[in-house]
Amino acid sequence: MASRFKLGVLADFLSRPILMGLLNGVAITIMVGQLSKIFGFTFSEKYLIERLAGSPGYLSQSHLPTLAMSLFTLLLLLVCRRLRPHWPATMLALAGAGLLVWAGTLGQFGIKTIGHVPSGIPDLQLPEFPPGLLRELVLPALNLAMVSFVSMMLTARSFAARNGYEIDADQEFRALGMANLAAAASQGFAISGADSRTAVNDANGGKSQLVSIIAAAVIALVTFTLTEPLQYIPTAALGVVLVMASLSLTDFRGLWALRHSDRSAFWLALTTFVSVLTMGVIPGITLAVLLGLFQFLRNVMRPTDQLLGTDEEGVVRTIGNNEQVKGVPGILVYRFNSPLTYFNAPYFKRRVLALLVQDPHGPRCLVIDAVACFTHQDISVMSMVGELHQELKRRGIHMVMAGRHGQLSHWFRQAGVRVGEDGILLCPDIYQALRMTRCYRSAEETLPLAETDPEQEEREVSLATTIA
């Protein structure tokens, strides 16, 4: 149902900094969780940070045969990757470790193995539950679906960004639903994307969905014919494989590089990383998404803005970036770098009035770059524009909108804001706006002449006469 209603758009809130922090956090989480298997001890702590802090103290409790098996698996894995990079190193390392346990009867030394694996497949049947429980199951099922989807999409988005491909969030939602329906009919657990298995797949060069089909076929084959050999695979070998796969997820250098290119993105990525380690994946990501939204709202509420001028060739540019760019005498050209909406409209008005007071030339015309800020119709914005126009009119300053001529004309007339000779002047672009205003003849001489038709020139002369 979520796929039918296109709720995959929720995945768009996972920004690049969030994904970077998540990948590093998940990698550390997996590696710390496998330490007990590799060294052969048992954590008494429940939380990740406590386990990470207490790990050095557990080294003295390491089980030497288990540690030796871990080192053997690691050596076999590295040698295979080095000498035969195209061979399935992970499978060979696990097979070698299992063969060593079987041939050497190492179970007597306390090396833990997977143990007995039941063969065959479960019977297919629909789950039974009383209808009276439906109300009690709806809310937990929704929570489980959302957690599963977010967890899966975090993993999918992270690896998609890492490997340079696109994913369809709605299709992922659909696949998750179908997989859970199949799990329910086969008495299975709730299904989601697994970061550890995805990491193993990525580390072994998996490139397409064919990997999952082959994996399913191999699992079915093993379930029917090879369950007995599986019992000899040591859990220490599995831990080594997961740690090696997790190492490929880490990118602390890339995270640190954000500090120099975008400090706000760096802090968001770092917050995500720390939150995942301290709070867990889902709470950590939730906090990071909320912080990202707050950061976005802050940028929209108080965006950057610029005053525009012309260079020696008459090209409109930002004042301050180039010493040759000068303001047009008598005309204040303003750009507000955010869509205007109800919560930043008062700030826009205050900025415009403050800049008019600060201008030493005493401008008679205000030209606003409407392309940058008028992106949608908002009644609060229209009301603010009407108030600003009346204030400017009282001061003897003409208000000109450059760009979005047709849209603004329609929006202003609907909102009751006057346009034309007695109201706000609308122009196709900034160049036409500067030509039209003609507050000073020197301003016209610095601007490039644009080709216009006779009717356009008549309108310019009429409006310019009104201003003058």
Position 312 scores a pLDDT of: 81
The pLDDT-based confidence of 10 (bands split at 50, 70, 90) is: low
Q: Which residues pair with 424 in a beta bridge?
A: 419
Higher pLDDT, 454 or 247: 247
Higher pLDDT, 114 or 383: 383
Is 348 a residue whose pLDDT tops 90?
A: yes
The pLDDT-based confidence of 467 (bands split at 50, 70, 90) is: very low
Is 140 a residue whose pLDDT tops 50?
A: yes
Residue 392 lies in a domain: yes
The pLDDT-based confidence of 334 (bands split at 50, 70, 90) is: very high
Residue 348 lies in a domain: yes
The pLDDT-based confidence of 4 (bands split at 50, 70, 90) is: low
Q: How many CA atoms lie within 13 A of 38 on its CB side?
A: 20
Position 160 scores a pLDDT of: 80
Residue 40 lies in a domain: no
* 8 Å CB contact between 431 and 450: yes
Name residue 240's amino acid.
V
Is 350 a residue whose pLDDT tops 90?
A: yes
Residue 370 lies in a domain: yes
The mean per-residue pLDDT over the stretch 320-330 comes to 79
Position 150 scores a pLDDT of: 67
The pLDDT-based confidence of 75 (bands split at 50, 70, 90) is: very high
How many folded domains does the chain comprise? 1
User: β-strand 331-336 against 305-310: which pairing, if any?
Assistant: antiparallel
Mean pLDDT, rounded, of the chain: 80
Position 221 scores a pLDDT of: 84
Position 309 scores a pLDDT of: 87
Higher pLDDT, 407 or 172: 407
Percent of the chain predicted with pLDDT > 70 = 85
DSSP H or E segment with residue 398: strand 398-402
The mean per-residue pLDDT over the stretch 62-77 comes to 90
Higher pLDDT, 468 or 276: 276
Using alpha carbons only, how large is the chain's radius of gyration in Å?
33
DSSP H or E segment with residue 307: strand 305-310
Position 447 scores a pLDDT of: 46
The pLDDT-based confidence of 442 (bands split at 50, 70, 90) is: very low
Task: Summarize pLDDT for 153-164 with one digit per residue, the tens.
Answer: 777 777 787 777
Domain, as residue range, for 437: 305-467
Q: What are the structure tokens assigned to 89, written together?
A: 């190193």
Position 240 scores a pLDDT of: 92
The mean per-residue pLDDT over the stretch 335-353 comes to 94
Residue 326 lies in a domain: yes
Q: Look at 42-56, 193-207, 265-279, 284-298 and tell me which has the smallest mean pLDDT.
A: 193-207
* 8 Å CB contact between 382 and 423: no
Q: Look at 213-222, 273-282, 395-404, 445-454 and tell me which has the smallest mean pLDDT.
A: 445-454
Angle at 276 between CA 66 and CA 176, to 5 degrees: 90
Is 30 a residue whose pLDDT tops 90?
A: no
Task: Summarize pLDDT for 222-265 with one digit per residue, the tens.
Answer: 788 877 888 888 999 999 998 988 887 788 888 898 888 888 88
Task: Summarize pLDDT for 354-382 with one digit per residue, the tens.
Answer: 999 887 777 889 999 999 899 999 999 99
The mean per-residue pLDDT over the stretch 293-319 comes to 88
Position 374 scores a pLDDT of: 92
Position 196 scores a pLDDT of: 64
Is 462 a residue whose pLDDT tops 90?
A: no
The pLDDT-based confidence of 3 (bands split at 50, 70, 90) is: low
Closest of 118, 117, 154 to residue 18, by C-alpha: 154
The mean per-residue pLDDT over the stretch 432-459 comes to 53
Is 453 a residue whose pLDDT tops 50?
A: no
Residue 402 lies in a domain: yes
Which range in 321-335, 349-363, 383-397 is most confidently predicted, on average pLDDT?
A: 383-397
The mean per-residue pLDDT over the stretch 266-282 comes to 87
Residue 368 lies in a domain: yes
We report the CATH number of the domain holding residue 429 as: 3.30.750.24
Residue 184 lies in a domain: no
Is 463 a residue whose pLDDT tops 70?
A: no
Is 78 a residue whose pLDDT tops 50?
A: yes
DSSP state of 181: H
Q: If you write DSSP's letter for every residue of 322-360 in order, what string do you get?
A: -TT-BPPTTEEEEEESS---TTTHHHHHHHHHHHHHH-T
3-state DSSP assignment of residue 367: strand
